[in-house]
Amino acid sequence: MVAPTHTLKSSGWFNEVWLGFWTALVGMRITLKYFFKKPETVQYPEERMPIPDRYRGIHYLEQEKCIYCFMCARACPVDCISMEAVRHGKELEWVSFTVDYNRCMFCELCTYPCPKDCIHEGKEFALVTYDRRDLVLDLLSWKGMSAEAKQRFEAAEAAKASGAAAKDAPKAGAAPADAPEHS
């Protein structure tokens, strides 16, 4: 016996409704599974995920230790480190120490040859800008001479000046060059 046409049509409609309801439930099962768990997402940039200790991010320089030897710049395979300083005896007057992050590939090869272990890659990674020129970063903490270097330089200059004055002064007890000779 053949079922009436209107009965078949209504059972198909109920099947469709049931299927829609069931698939929504299956989808929501995954949602519900995570709904009561601690969220994995963070509200960047206000919040940040922990960064591993060995992450290779934007460089930082311990400027007071740097001796302006160019070893880091020579080791860089893409030639993106530049520096400029003026030597005053043993002290340095800094002009710039830049890394061009348009080229840097964060390989860390610049850090290994540093004799003072003073250039490092840190955990900062945000290099977001509308202007590529902003990607040339100066790592200097100060320009010119540090306060300590200035003090050392002035002390060395004063010592040098007093040493020279002592050398020029006539020796104690020595007769002046123009003193008359006694017969």
Paired residues of 87 in beta bridges: 92
Report the length, in residues, of the chain: 183
Query: Which 152-171 residues touch ligand SF4, going by CB under 6 A?
Result: none
Q: With binding defined as CB under 6 A, does residue 68 bind ligand SF4?
A: yes
Per CB under 6 A, the list member of 78, 159, 161, 164 interacting with ligand SF4 is 78
Extract the tokens encoding 122. 């840190």
Query: In 36-146, which ranges are continuous DSSP H helix?
Result: 71-75
Minimum distance of ligand SF4 from residue 172's CB (angstroms)? 46
User: Residue 75 or 156: which CB sits closer to ligand SF4?
Assistant: 75
Paired residues of 98 in beta bridges: 82, 138
Number of amino acids touching ligand SF4 (CB under 6 A): 25
Question: How far from chain centre, in Å, is Cα 127?
Answer: 11
Q: With binding defined as CB under 6 A, does residue 86 bind ligand SF4?
A: no
Q: Which residues of the chain form beta strands (DSSP E)? A: 59-61, 81-88, 91-100, 119-121, 136-138
Residues binding ligand SF4 (CB under 6 A) = 66-72, 75-76, 78, 80-81, 99, 104-110, 114-116, 118-119
